[in-house]
């Protein structure tokens, strides 16, 4: 079975990034928001095609800029005291509606070199070396925004008011997290796909919260689970001839079911 090094690189990087982000999302109680982010990522990509064809520039750069703007809109609503579920519901309604309108416009107006379906389905087997270098850049920026501040994010998730009263500028950490989420979701969308990105953002953190006893352990468990899911899913997809992004999602789901069964047995 042939394995291109580019496939391994992008899958490992994606698994590592989502493995780090997922427990932070759980600690900060942003699961609902994280579940909506792939919607904004897909909308960002579609709008970036329009802007690149109208104003010039690179689609990838436009997509990241738009994604950051959209995520910051949600962050602004949350900072204004709007309930997180309400803010997310409004955001999802807007992004889904605009995605349909924008996608129809792009499909009917432009001849695309890269099909939009590649972003919806995701396929690490189609990455070029340019895509690989781009994934390395996106992953590096995301990890630099999150990893040095894992302790602070966990503490903010536990007691935000106490952390703020202690003199910590929580707004800066919020901005770093939102920026990292925006960059990661849109930057790695073509590799994992719109659908499976939901799984990668949510399940590693949920699994880690069921097994870990502390913040550091939760991150370690989430990264391990994400890497196992990514590499095993890639190999399973290659062996069975199915979409690797889909098999990655199934492996993570299987790991989650195993954890649930383990907890049920332990409580009986």
Going along the chain from its start, the domains and CATH numbers come out as 5-267 (1.10.3470.10)
Note the pLDDT of residue 232. 93
**Is the confidence at residue 22, as pLDDT, over 80?**
yes
Q: For the beta carbon of residue 73, count every other beta carbon within 10 angstroms.
A: 17
* Residue 266 confidence class, pLDDT cut points 50, 70, 90: low
Out of 1-15, 54-68, 111-125, which region has the weakest mean confidence (pLDDT)? 111-125
Least confident interval from 42-51, 115-124, 201-210: 115-124
pLDDT of residue 267: 65
| CA pair distance 220, 213, nearest whole angstrom | 11
Classified as helix, coil or strand, 71 is helix
Report pLDDT for 139. 93
Q: What is the mean pLDDT of residues 67-94?
A: 81
For residue 114, pLDDT over 60 is answered with no
Q: What is the pLDDT of residue 15?
A: 93
**Selected residue with higher pLDDT from 76 and 185:** 185
Instruction: Specify the pLDDT at position 19.
Output: 92
Statement: residue 113 has pLDDT above 60? no
Q: d(Cα 129, Cα 86) in Å, to the nearest integer?
A: 41
The model's pLDDT over 167-203, given as tens digits with 9 standing for 90+, comes to 878 888 888 888 998 899 888 888 888 778 888 888 8
Structure confidence at residue 39 (pLDDT): 80
- Predicted confidence at residue 13, as pLDDT, reads 93
CA distance 113 to 132: 18
Please give the average per-residue pLDDT across 15-36, as a whole number: 86
Q: Is the pLDDT of residue 33 over 80?
A: no
Q: Which sign, positive or negative, has the C-alpha torsion 225, 180, 41, 154?
A: positive
Backbone angles phi, psi at 21, to 5 degrees: -70, -40
């Amino acid at each position: 079975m042939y394995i291109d090094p580019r496939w391994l690189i992008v899958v490992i990087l994606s698994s590592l990034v989502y493995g780090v982000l997922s427990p932070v999302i759980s600690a900060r109680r942003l699961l609902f928001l994280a579940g909506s982010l792939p919607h904004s990522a897909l909308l960002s990509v579609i709008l970036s095609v329009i802007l690149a064809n109208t104003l010039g520039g690179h689609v990838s750069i436009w997509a990241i800029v738009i994604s950051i703007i959209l995520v910051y809109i949600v962050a602004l609503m949350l900072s204004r005291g709007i309930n997180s579920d309400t803010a997310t519901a409004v955001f999802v309604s807007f992004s889904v509606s605009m995605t349909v309108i924008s996608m129809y416009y792009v499909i009917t107006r432009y001849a695309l070199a890269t099909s939009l379906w590649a972003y919806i389905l995701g396929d690490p087997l189609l990455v070029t070396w340019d895509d690989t270098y781009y994934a390395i850049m996106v992953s590096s920026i995301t990890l630099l925004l999150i990893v040095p501040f894992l302790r602070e994010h966990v503490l903010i998730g536990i007691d935000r008011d106490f952390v703020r009263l202690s003199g910590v500028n929580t707004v800066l950490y919020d901005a770093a997290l939102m920026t990292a989420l925006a960059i990661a979701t849109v930057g790695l969308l073509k590799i994992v796909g719109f659908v499976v990105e939901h799984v990668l953002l949510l399940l590693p953190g949920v699994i880690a919260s069921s097994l870990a006893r502390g913040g550091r352990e939760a991150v370690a468990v989430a990264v391990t689970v994400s890497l196992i899911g990514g590499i095993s899913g890639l190999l399973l997809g290659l062996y069975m001839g199915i979409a690797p992004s889909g098999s990655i999602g199934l492996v993570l789901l299987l790991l989650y079911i195993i954890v649930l069964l383990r907890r049920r047995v332990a409580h009986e």
